[in-house]
Amino acid sequence: MTSAARPEFLLAIESSCDETAAAVIDSRRRVVSSIVASQHHLHRPFGGVVPEVASRAHVSQLLPVIDDALKAANLQLNDLAAIGVVTEPGLVGSLLVGLTAAKTLAWLLQIPLVAVNHIQAHLYACRLGAADDPFPAVGLVVSGGHTHLFDCRSVVEYELIGATIDDAAGEAFDKVAAILGLEYPGGPAIESAARSGNAQAIRFPRPMLSGQGLDFSFSGLKTAVLYEFQGRRGGPPSPQPTAARVSDVAASFQEAVVDVLVGKCERAISEQRRQTLIVGGGVAANTRLRGRLEEMCRRRGVRLVLSPREYCTDNAAMGAIAWESLERGRLAPLDIDVTPGLLRSPH
């Protein structure tokens, strides 16, 4: 399994939330194929992910997605050296679909099974775009379910140093999009509306930015947008929103979130005395956030390694982290269970 030897191939499976994904990654960490079947169209009418709908869609999508990943890699099942699968955190039914398929394949092919932590995999996605290993680093995972800051001493040693105390940043994007009448998922919709808006139009709060500590809070910001957009109860009704007003609110909200994320990353880098910042997760696809992080890291002389845009939102290529466990002999037993962890709070 050394990089000098002929590369071996690992199949990674991801089904923790609303994307069914499979990828083939070789032992040199090259993504040979990556297939993602999104369920967004199924959840859109409900304005968020419906767990039962997600599990059922994984059941029908997973085998075709695995087939497509193997075909795109020009491989057969027998060519695989191991199976990696996300076992935590996520929606319990969704995780179980992926894990059951992974166990079945590992048993059938008599190859190792490796458990993948979805949050660590989001950070590992940064490694896929980098010329060399970006660790040690401060790591930010900013997604629909998580806003976590880590001190990453090595590729396998992570210490949580900050987290949201309520909504995740992506969750705030999704909920604010619903307030503004934009489609699910809210992140891309807000980013696109914000392009023609004025980010200085409304001065929304920057929660927990000025205080000490590395924790986040986005639920008050969401409420501030609600009051601004719909008017306070008992107050004067807000005028009928125009497209220009939606764009201004979207841009001002996005700027507030970006200010907080960039500010906390800057504080974490300075407190941990790290020279590298790595950032992954769905919200890391946001162009304004990427630009502002670049600006901050350039100013501080810190190396920034962003997840490649295509591996920000959920995908199985980031399951390449399974190679790290495999190479350290950390295999999962065939009776391993899922660890769902925190679910997203309802609207």
Contact 284, 265 (CB under 8 A): no
* 185 touches, from ligand KG4, Zn ion, none (C-beta below 5 to 8 Å by class): ligand KG4
CA 242/CA 238 separation, integer angstroms: 11
Contact stretch for ligand KG4 (CB under 6 A) within 94-102, 221-229, 279-287, 292-300: 279-287
Which residue type does 9 have?
F
CA 268/CA 321 separation, integer angstroms: 24
173 lines the binding site for ligand KG4 (CB under 6 A):
yes
Among 187, 207, 308, 340, binds ligand KG4 (CB under 6 A): 187
Which residue type does 116 have?
V
* 319 touches, from Zn ion, ligand KG4, none (C-beta below 5 to 8 Å by class): none
- Phi/psi of residue 249, nearest 5 degrees: -65, -45
185 lines the binding site for ligand KG4 (CB under 6 A):
yes
Contact stretch for Zn ion (CB under 5 A) within 26-34, 136-144, 288-296, 317-325: 136-144
143 lines the binding site for Zn ion (CB under 5 A):
yes
CA 253/CA 187 separation, integer angstroms: 11
- The 89-128 contact track toward ligand KG4, x by CB under 6 A, reads ----------------------------------------
* 94 touches, from ligand KG4, Zn ion, none (C-beta below 5 to 8 Å by class): none
* 186 touches, from ligand KG4, Zn ion, none (C-beta below 5 to 8 Å by class): ligand KG4
CA dist 140 to 42, 70, 124, Å? 29, 31, 11
* 283 touches, from ligand KG4, Zn ion, none (C-beta below 5 to 8 Å by class): ligand KG4
314 lines the binding site for ligand KG4 (CB under 6 A):
yes
Helix (H) / strand (E) element for 82: namely strand 80-88
CA 274/CA 135 separation, integer angstroms: 10
Q: What is the phi-psi region of residue 34: left when phi exceeds 0, alpha when psi lies from -120 to 50, beta otherwise? A: beta
Among 314, 321, 323, 338, binds Zn ion (CB under 5 A): 314
Min separation Cβ 3 and ligand KG4, Å: 28
Among candidate residues 317, 323, 283, the one with its CA nearest the CA of residue 129:
317
Min separation Cβ 37 and Zn ion, Å: 15
Query: Which of residues 136 and 280 has its CB atom nearest to Zn ion in the complex?
Result: 280
308 lines the binding site for ligand KG4 (CB under 6 A):
no
Contact 235, 247 (CB under 8 A): no
Min separation Cβ 232 and ligand KG4, Å: 26
Q: 236: buried, middle or exposed (CB in 10 Å: 19+, 13-18, 0-12)?
A: exposed
Instruction: Tell me whether strands 276-280 and 137-142 are parallel, antiparallel or unpaired.
Output: parallel
The residues binding ligand KG4 (CB under 6 A) are 17, 143-145, 170-171, 173-174, 185-188, 191, 281-283, 285-286, 313-314
